[in-house]
């Protein structure tokens, strides 16, 4: 049985129902979204994030090239370290959000799949005389993730000591089920955790070993979506789009270096930074409703449109819908009361800063 089929068979035995993302068939849930949500919030949940695209940058000029293309300080990275960074349009709006990992002789990146073709084509067009090669290595690697406050303890029970990986995207080699893997400190759900890069040929075996650990529960994208909305973590195509600046999305600290010098889109980003404000802000909403409003629902104040919903979900611990929305700054203060409008339906809501503290 091919390893991909073996992986899916193992996930199906655990109750997985699948959804297609980026050419991958990905677990949407394992039959108990509320329980999976609770694992991410209070325990440790095992996610299959293999749909994320993986890129490899090689060549003598790889660091200098990415330093000029991305928002964060790639040049300061040492092997075993990483950073979050954005690729912007010339106008300073968000094209892609990347996790950047530094190795001795290459740079690795992972990102959501939707923007990867545009990103790679755009970067290749900007390689002039630079010694840089860009390779899509997505097929060679699976990406599992153990997320939640008990993630470190769960890895320790599996024989992986990640206690020295304090910084975001710090990474190190480890062995799991006799397989050489790479463990990366990453937060996808608001409570910390670790990604595990696994060779595709060994994915089924590694998944089964992690799944067999009593402290780790398999979790699908439905529960992850709820937790990341609650934590205020933007996703591509919803909050991360070429319609928005990173400061509007709250992607500034840890994403943008204001001291490294020029990069694509830098002039606009620096101007916004020195002005000290943006016209729109990403905020959370708690709704007086029974079901979540659809994306692109309008936010209204005194009959005037002041924002738009980007993502929404039913929050299990409140049994009420929550949402992310871009809201005009003058209406984005915590406690502001607005109305969500979709067609003929209207729902009162309260504005909250992120992450949602309720």
Same domain, 301 and 261: no
Both 150 and 186 in one domain: the answer is: yes
Q: Check which CATH number belongs to the domain holding 243 and give it.
A: 3.30.1360.120
Indicate whether 29 and 102 sit together in one domain: yes
| Per-residue three-class SS string for 261-326 | CCCCCHHHHHHHHHHCCCCEEEEEEEECCCCCCCCCCEEEECCEEEEEEEEEEEECCCCEEEEEEE
Expressed as residue numbers, the domain containing 286 is 279-358
Query: Are residue 289 and residue 246 in the same domain, yes or no?
Result: no
Same domain for 125 and 98: yes
Rg (alpha carbons) of the chain, rounded to whole number: 21
Predicted confidence at residue 275, as pLDDT, reads: 86
Q: Which residue among 260, 277, 294 closes a domain? A: 277
Match 């040929």 to its residue by tokens. 201
CATH number at residue 341: 2.40.30.110
**Per-residue model confidence (pLDDT) at position 214:** 72
| Same domain membership, residue 195 and residue 65 | yes
pLDDT attached to residue 337: 97
CB atoms within 10 A of CB 351: 21
CA gap 65, 44 in Å, rounded: 38
Do 43 and 107 lie in a common domain? Answer: yes
**Do 307 and 236 share a structural domain?**
no
- Are 231 and 250 in contact by the 8 Å Cβ rule? The answer is no
User: pLDDT tens, position by position, for the chain (358 residues)?
Assistant: 556 789 999 999 999 999 999 888 999 999 999 999 999 999 999 999 999 999 999 999 999 999 999 999 999 999 999 999 999 999 999 999 999 999 999 999 999 999 999 999 999 999 999 999 999 999 999 999 999 999 999 999 999 999 889 999 999 999 999 999 999 999 999 999 999 999 999 999 999 999 998 789 999 999 999 999 999 999 999 999 999 999 999 999 999 999 999 999 999 999 999 988 899 999 999 999 999 999 999 999 999 999 999 999 999 999 999 999 999 999 999 999 999 999 999 999 999 999 998 6
Question: Using CB atoms within 10 A of its CB, is residue 342 exposed (0-12), middle (13-18) or buried (19+)?
Answer: middle
Are 37 and 58 within one domain? yes
Domain check: are 192 and 287 in the same one?
no
Looking at residue 2, what is its pLDDT?
58
Residues 6 or more apart whose CB falls under 8 angstroms from that of 43 comprise: 148, 149, 150, 215, 217
SS3 for 251? Answer: coil
89-to-71, 114, 124, 293, 339 alpha-carbon distances in Å: 11, 16, 15, 30, 33
Domain end: 277, 299, 334, which one?
277
Indicate if 283 and 271 belong to the same structural domain: no
Query: Domain tally for the chain?
Result: 2
Asked which of 277, 300, 325 is the last residue of a domain, the reply is: 277
CB 86 within 8 Å of CB 255: yes
**DSSP string covering 201-244:** GGHHHHHHHHHHSTT-EE--HHHHHHHHHHHT---BTTTBSTTS
Torsion from C-alpha of 35, 36, 37, 42, nearest 10 degrees? 80
Which pLDDT does position 4 carry in this prediction? 75
**Cα-Cα-Cα-Cα dihedral sign, residues 11, 148, 188, 133:** negative
| Residues 283, 332 contacting (CB under 8 angstroms) | yes
Distances (CA, A) of 292 to 83, 239, 289, 323, 342: 33, 17, 7, 8, 11
- Say if residues 190 and 355 touch (Cβ distance below 8 Å): yes
Q: 86 and 76, same structural domain?
A: yes
177: left (phi over 0), alpha (psi -120 to 50) or beta: left
- Tell whether omega for the bond before 310 is within 30 degrees of 0, i.e. cis: no
């Amino acid at each position: 049985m091919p390893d991909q089929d073996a992986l899916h068979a193992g996930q199906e035995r655990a109750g997985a129902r699948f959804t297609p993302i980026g050419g991958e068939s990905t677990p949407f849930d394992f039959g108990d979204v509320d329980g999976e949500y609770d694992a991410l919030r209070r325990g440790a949940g095992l996610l299959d994030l293999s749909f994320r695209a993986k890129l490899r940058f090689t060549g003598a000029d790889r660091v200098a090239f990415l330093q000029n293309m991305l928002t964060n300080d790639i040049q300061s990275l040492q092997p075993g370290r990483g950073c979050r960074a954005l690729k912007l349009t010339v106008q300073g709006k968000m094209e892609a959000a990347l996790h950047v990992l530094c190795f001795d002789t290459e740079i690795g990146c992972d990102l959501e799949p939707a923007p990867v073709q545009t990103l790679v084509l755009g970067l290749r067009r900007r390689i002039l005389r630079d010694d840089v090669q860009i390779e899509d290595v997505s097929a060679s690697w699976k990406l599992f993730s153990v997320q939640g406050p008990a993630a470190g303890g769960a890895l320790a029970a599996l024989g992986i000591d990640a206690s020295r990986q304090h910084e975001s995207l710090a990474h190190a080699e480890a062995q799991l089920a006799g397989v050489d893997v790479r463990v990366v400190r990453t937060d996808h759900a608001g409570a910390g955790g670790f990604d595990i890069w696994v060779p595709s040929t060994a994915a089924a075996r590694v998944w089964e070993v992690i799944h067999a650990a009593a402290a780790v529960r398999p979790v699908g994208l439905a529960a992850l979506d709820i937790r990341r909305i609650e934590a205020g973590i933007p996703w591509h195509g919803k909050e991360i789009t070429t319609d928005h600046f990173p400061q509007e999305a709250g992607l500034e600290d840890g994403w943008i270096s204001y001291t490294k010098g020029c990069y694509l889109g830098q002039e606009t980003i620096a101007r916004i930074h020195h002005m000290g404000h943006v016209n729109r802000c990403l905020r959370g909403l708690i709704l007086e409703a029974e079901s979540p409003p659809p994306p692109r629902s309008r936010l209204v104040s005194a009959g005037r449109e002041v924002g738009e919903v980007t993502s929404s979900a039913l929050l299990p611990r409140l049994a009420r819908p929550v949402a992310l929305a871009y809201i005009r700054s003058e209406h984005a203060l915590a406690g502001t009361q607005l109305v969500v409008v979709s067609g003929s339906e209207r729902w009162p809501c309260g504005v909250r800063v992120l992450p949602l503290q309720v």
